[in-house]
Structure 1
Amino acid sequence: MRTAVNKPSVRLLWLACVVAMSGSLWAQEQKLPEVQVTAEAPEPDASAQINQQQVTAAELNEQQASQLADVVRYSPGVTLTNIGRFGSTGFNIRGMDGDRVAITVDGLALAERLDPSNLAPYAFFRSGRGGIELDSLKQVEILKGADALLAGSGSLGGAVLFQTKDPTDFLQTQGDESHAGIKLGFDGAYHERQFSVSAANRSGPVESMVLVSRRDGEQQRVPHKGDDVTGGARSIPEPLDNQSLNVLAKLQWQLQPEHRLGWTVEQFKANAEADERAKIGGTYLSRDTDDESRRRRIGMDYQWLAGSLWFDALSLKFDWQDTRNFGITKMLMNYATCPEGIQPCMRHEDRGFRQVQQRLALAFDKELSQGILHQQWLYGVGVERKRISSWRTNTHFLGESDQVGRSEAFAFVIPHIDIDQWYVLARDQVTLAGGSQWTLGLRYDGFNYKPELSELLQDQSGTITSGRFGNLSGQISYQYPLTDSQQLKAQWGRGFRMPSADDMYGGVSSSTVTDINGDTVVIWSSAANPDLKAETSQNLELAWSWQPARRQQLQLSVFRQDYRNLIESQVQTRLPDLQYQQCVRGECTLIEGNRYSQPQNIGRARVQGIELESLLQLNQAFSLRLAGSRQYGKDSQGEPLLSVSPANALASLRYQAPGQNWQLLTTVQHLAGKNEADTLQTQADGSRTSTVLQVPGSATVVDVNASWDLTAALQLQLGIFNLFDREYYRWDRMRFIYPGGGGPRGDVQPGTDGYRRFAEPGRYIKASVSYIF
């Protein structure tokens, strides 16, 4: 609940600035209009990025979004990476993905991922970045380009900012009121059944809500038939059962007209069980998986509409978040090391990753007007602590019984780590006479890494030590009104990503050997690097926008994104005078010097591109959206950047006749194929070969969505997706497929149709019905 006070609104003054930039108001008089409206506390997640897209809950509902990938399904230039068994590692924006694209929920970053590249082909464990229920979302803001100012670490390519619903999103009036609703849905792509219930209430100064969502699904449907065979030639998806449950509850108390206190509790849990028949082969007689992810969050926020000399409003937030990922792989194996020689035997690989976060953030906002100059200040500070841990247990059973024959427990990849972070930021948006606007911002982050060794993880290399560093980032943008309806925008931005726990300390290993003189020497296989620096990016962007009317707008932008200090593993040499003998399977080789791998800040890359976004209101009933993106990138060695997505474009036609209670949305999307030349990589012998098993071609896909408001309380939605049943593939899935013919490594047997099980869904329907009591 908001209470009116005698001061300008942050949000409406921002809208007034946008209107002023068109030049029409300034042509009449050279001063800002005075506005008296309801005040609000600062919006620390409101970005000043000139290239951004906002997707509201109404749009997600209209598009019948049910999977995380649906959030960006109609956002050219933005995709969701899919690594297979463990789902998504995040979004891909401008050639960056994983932890290099920031993801926040109500301003709090999601947990970092754990994904050692050398272990990825085994698919025993890779922690993702999911844990978001779409029905709980109020809005999604997609930032394209470096914007660390508000998104913080991970904002190399951009950021995706999720905002969850509040009680006011369910309550329609300003007085005491109650709400209850139910929604049932079905997604044919995964045979998913969805159920959610919502309840909200306002009683005097107290508003509350609870939203519970449940999903049950199966493996993805593909547009072709195939035999239920085992091994890497399998062309249809493997059997899968998954469930998720999300609970979101909020309580907000308007203590006084200027003071508000709020609490948030959110809990997400998902489980997936799969029969990995494509892995059967060699020593594997069967392989089943049981994976679970959990995210719990408790938040408290206080807002004060102070109207003081130094700030108009204050926002204080405290958040606690616990994220856990578990992966159990159950294998029936026929191999010589079975306990007591009983073959075949069961083996369980049990791995997990946990991150606990605590954050305290304080933000202020202040508006200043002096003659023809208007300023909108946002400044704040914050501290955060993360506690990261991982574990692994190998259990070998006696034959196919449940009796344990041998069990081994040890730390998985990384030690326990505490990461302390603090930041300070300030941003000023300055609007001048004539409608031009400057945005100037700076942010400084400090980090301190403190690893802990244990009996489960020892470090003979002595490289797992504390690390400390800082990073300065900023943003400068300028908007200039060319005419009443046209604007020219320019921006420079700097993003960064702090080294992850895996970057800093992952996979440290060493062994003891005897050199040719008979002396015992410790040699390193891989070492940590506590002296790593943050990865950084710089974004240069120029945009032209045209808005002759409220529902007529177009923006064309070109950009260049430069990445520096990217962390890559590099071979190093120590003890150059050391000589020792290394024997593998009976063959011995004389080794000179200790060669080992270590992460270094050596990577550089550049991504360039062009993006179009437009909306045209053709008449009272029809509107047309056109959008597209094309980008390309290379690293400092001239090698194509594999993470750059192919070009795509869409045209979306909406029909909604005035006074009618139904609407129809038809979207035609073209996905360009990946140029095979852009998948070639230079090998050690100088040859250039593709590292991708199957390069996807182009495809044009048509989706049709319809919705009916049968009554004021009852709504029905129906959609047909991939209307013409096209068989097509997405680059951000195909590039993570590993060759292999069954067994512990790889997904697909080369030379077979095994890759076809990774096709996108064929023709399928989505349907939902919702009722408000």
Structure 2
Amino acid sequence: MNIEHTLLASALLLAFHPAVRAADDQQTINEGKVQQVVVTASPLRNGEGDQILTPAKVLAGDELRDKVGNSLGETLQNELGVSSSAFGAGASRPIIRGMEGSRVKMLENGMATSDVSGLSNDHAVASEGAVARQIEILRGPAALLYGSGAIGGLVNVVNERIPTALEPKPTGQIETRYSSVDDGKNLSGTLDGAVGKLGLHLDANLRNTDDYQIPGDRVLNDPSSAMHRLPNSDTRERNVGVGGSYVDDWGYAGLSVSHLTNFYGIPTNAGSHIDQRQNRYDFDSVVKNPLAGFESARVKAGYTDYHHAELDDGVPATLFSNKSFESRIELTHKPLTSLGLHGTVGVQTENTHFSALSAAGGPDTVPVTHSTTQAAFLVEEWKQGPLRWNAGVRYENVDRKPVSNRERTFDLGSGSIGALWPFTQGYSFGTTLSYAQRAPGTEELYSGGPHDATLTFDVGDPDLHKEISRNVELSLQKTSGLLRWRVNAYRNNVNNFIYGHVTDAMFDEDGNPGGDFRQRLFQQAKAHVQGAEAEMTWNQIGMGWNGRVFADTSRGYLDDAGNLPLQPADRVGASIGYRQPHWRTGLEWTHARGQERLAAFETSPTPAYNLVDANLSYTQKLESMDLTYFLTAKNLLNEDIRLSTSLLKDIAPLPGRNITFGVRAKF
């Protein structure tokens, strides 16, 4: 990728050009002004600091750039209450409070990614963090706008491919970076502009990485497996998106199209690869003051054509396909009554054709299945004396119709209510109660074939019942001043929790006894997940010194069936940083305890580890451009790190010490 090297060399030459001048303290990006971060997935688009009843974290700006990785799970894995499925460098999905898969909904610009990452941990999320403006993590009532099944919460990647405002002049950024651990080369960029009342957007990302280096042993506690690099951990991604919209005083309406190709290795003993492709088409429109009593009306629609092939020695073994059409209409009304009731009402539909078919004439992993969803939702907030309230309800009908099994229909009702009490200036106490139902996924109902990447022979159950979740959460926090903190505690009881029980039975790829595929049966039991999180920060926005300490813990278990599989380890951590208008640096430490709470089929505990990361950057002004040189280091101690939330924890450690350097030009 010579273009990346050329860009880096050009940027370095420009740094010493006479036209380069020091950035004025009042003009640099890091001038210390407090800017409100808008949570776009919130029904009323509140700021991040207002999301007390729907706990939110928004990664944006320098923080996002420091943490962005090869996958969404890698980018978010050190956030409070968030871990990662860590299925190699190419496929890593966020796990929130011990909930994974389809219980954590993945969105792009408020619409479902419509990939198949929720079906299995080896499937990558079809959304790219390198070109994102921000990444949002939400739980609580706001999640009801997007699906009753989001028991764990949702993650929304915001790239604003459909412009919502007109830029007075072209703006954007281009970044190139190189990572030492995998000889990784990454080039990404975004561009926004306007012609008259037409807003335009372009973004692209190119990434090539080789097999990444590991500290030593590949197999846990097996010195004979020592090697320099982890086989089949390479990645190759190409992603491009374009969009345009007509923007006027009444609102905007626009379209976007994007294309993704992602070829990545699966570091199992079988050593397979996945060839992933997706075309996505989106429409978004907002009309201000459309009717008396309403602030805005929003109409969104999206069509996704997704495919991936699981390759065995370069030959397709299983072909996954998901074609999906989603539509949404949202109406936000003006405050009503003396309580100031303010909220959003809407409807949503989804129509999908999904299949996982054998490419070699054997049993199909999942038959062709047509699913339809119709839903209506309402989310409101209001004040009553000192109390702030937030509530949401959703009704959803899901129909799954396979070509080779019986049809199932599910009626789902969900609701959530929370209250916040600011009992004194700058301090508040909140509580949220949630009730949610989730329909079994297509693979949980109708699987009946081999899954090569995980070496399991999956067997669904068409008689599965809907999941029913009851959740309570308590929070106490200090929300003003340089020193801020919060403490959250939660408990989630789930009836009919669906999980994959891996047995000792072995099958070949045709379903005959004997072979390399372990049987995985989709079963149900009553589950409980409980945990707590705490965080304290100092001067997170301003100049000078800043710091953070945090801790999180989660426990998940099944009635009469032991621990839930792949549960996160207890963690504590701290960070310290320093900011000036030109310079920024930071050091972060995370300690994870050993995880010995194993499910019935898990064979070995996960050892404790210490993760130390650091960053350093310098920004200078070049005419109207901010030029930033950055250096980041991950796993500085070169520890053998294995995540308890990964199916591959025994045979695929995380990357060793990784030094990344690059340059970013923002204009």
TM-score by length of 1: 0.71
Q: Work out which of the residue numbers 69, 77, 84 in structure 2 matches 1:80.
A: 84
Q: Which amino acid aligns with 2:442?
A: A
Q: Partner letter of residue 276 of structure 2?
A: S
Contiguous gaps of at least 5 residues in structure 1:
1-14, 19-39, 118-125, 280-287, 332-347, 395-408, 454-463, 510-524, 572-582, 586-595, 682-690, 738-754
Is it true that 1:63 corresponds to 2:4 in the alignment? no
CA–CA distance in structure 1, aligned partners of residues 162 and 446 of structure 2: 43
For 1:103-142, what aligned pairs fall within 5 Å after superposition?
103-111=106-114, 113=116, 128-142=123-137
Q: Could you say which residue in structure 1 is the equivalent of 2:507?
A: none
The within-5 A match list for 1:374-385 is: 374-385=340-351
Q: Percent identity?
A: 19
Mapped contact 2:214–2:227 kept (Cα < 8 A): no
Distance 1:607 1:274, change over 3 A: closer
The aligned counterpart of 2:488 is 557
Aligned-pair CA distance for 1:430: 0.8
The change in CA–CA distance for 1:326 and 1:363 in structure 2 (over 3 A counts) is: same
Distance in 1, matches of 2:604 and 2:79, equals: 25
Summarize the alignment of residues 199-210 of structure 1 with structure 2, pairs less than 5 Å apart: 199-210=191-202
Q: Secondary structure at the match of 1:76?
A: coil
Per the alignment, residue 478 of structure 2 pairs with: 546
What secondary structure is seen at the aligned counterpart in 1 of 2:133?
strand
Give the SS at the match of 1:353. strand
Cα displacement string for residues 5-34 of structure 1 (whole angstroms, at most 9, x for unaligned residues): xxxxxxxxxx99x9xxxxxxxxxxxxxxxx
2 CA distance for matches of 1:350 and 1:247? 28
CA distance in 2, matches of 1:99, 1:467: 18
Residue number among 207, 227, 232 corresponding to 1:215 in the alignment: 207
Give how far 1:233 is off.
4.2
TM norm structure 2? 0.82
Query: Which residue of 1 is the match for residue 545 of structure 2?
Result: 622
What is the identity, as a one-letter code, of the residue corresponding to 1:243? R
2:317 to 326, 344, 350: 350
Deviates more, 1:409-418 or 1:212-221: 409-418
TM superposition shift of 1:66: 4.2
Cα pair 1:77 1:648 within 8 Å, conserved: no
1:639 equivalent to 2:556? Answer no
Alpha-carbon distance in 2 for matches of 1:613, 1:323 = 39
Larger Rg: 1
Q: Contact 1:314–1:362 at 8 Å: present in 2 too?
A: yes
Residue 416 (structure 1) aligned with residue 368 (structure 2)? yes
Alignment of 1:251-262 (within 5 A): 251-254=244-247, 256-262=248-254
Partner of residue 194 from structure 1, selected from 165, 186, 195: 186
In 2, Cα distance between the equivalents of 1:319 and 1:639?
41
| TM-superposed deviation, 1:411 | 5.5
Correspondence for 1:53: 57
Counterpart amino acid of 1:698? A
Give matches, 1:491-640, under 5 Å. 491-507=432-448, 529-549=461-481, 551-568=482-499, 602-617=524-539, 620-637=543-560, 639-640=562-563
Q: Does 1:766 align with 2:621?
A: no
C-alpha deviation, 1:166, in angstroms: 4.7
Alpha-carbon deviation of 1:250?
A: 1.7
- Preserved contact between residue 70 and residue 90 of structure 2 (Cα < 8 Å): no
- Partner residue of 2:611 out of 701, 714, 722: 701
User: Which position in structure 2 is the counterpart of 1:403?
Assistant: none
Question: Within 2, Cα distance between the matches of 1:624 and 1:58?
Answer: 15
Aligned equivalents of 2:46 and 2:323: distance in 1?
Answer: 22
Which residue in the other structure is 1:93 paired with? 96
Deviation (angstroms), 1:349: 5.1
SS in 2 for 1:271: strand
Cα displacement (A) at 1:154:
3.4
Q: How many residues in Structure 1 have an aligned counterpart in Structure 2? A: 601
Q: Is the 8 A contact 1:94 1:158 kept in 2?
A: no
Residue 149 of structure 1, CA deviation: 0.8
Of 673, 684, 687, which aligns to 2:594? 673
Please give the secondary structure, in 1, of the residue aligned with 2:491: strand
Letter of the 2:592 partner, please give it: L
In 1, Cα distance between equivalents of 2:628 and 2:513 = 67
For residues 336 and 218 of structure 2, what CA distance do their matches in structure 1 show? 69
Taking the aligned partners of 1:351 and 1:479, their CA distance within structure 2 comes to 50
Distance 1:481 1:316, change over 3 A: same
SS of 1:134's partner is coil
Give the equivalent residue in structure 1 for 2:159. 164
CA drift of 1:692 comes to: 3.4
Residue type of the alignment partner of 1:702: V
TM-aligned CA deviation for residue 219 of structure 1:
1.2
| Alignment equivalent of 2:358, drawn from 376, 392, 407 | 392
Q: CA deviation at 1:358?
A: 0.3
Aligned twin of 1:721: 634
Aligned match of 2:573: 650
After superposition, the Cα gap between the structure-2 partners of 1:135 and 1:650, relative to the gap in structure 1 and judged at 3 Å, is same
Give the Cα–Cα distance (whole angstroms) in 2 for the partners of residues 85 and 351 of structure 1: 21
Is the Cα contact below 8 Å between 2:358 and 2:364 reproduced in 1?
Answer: yes
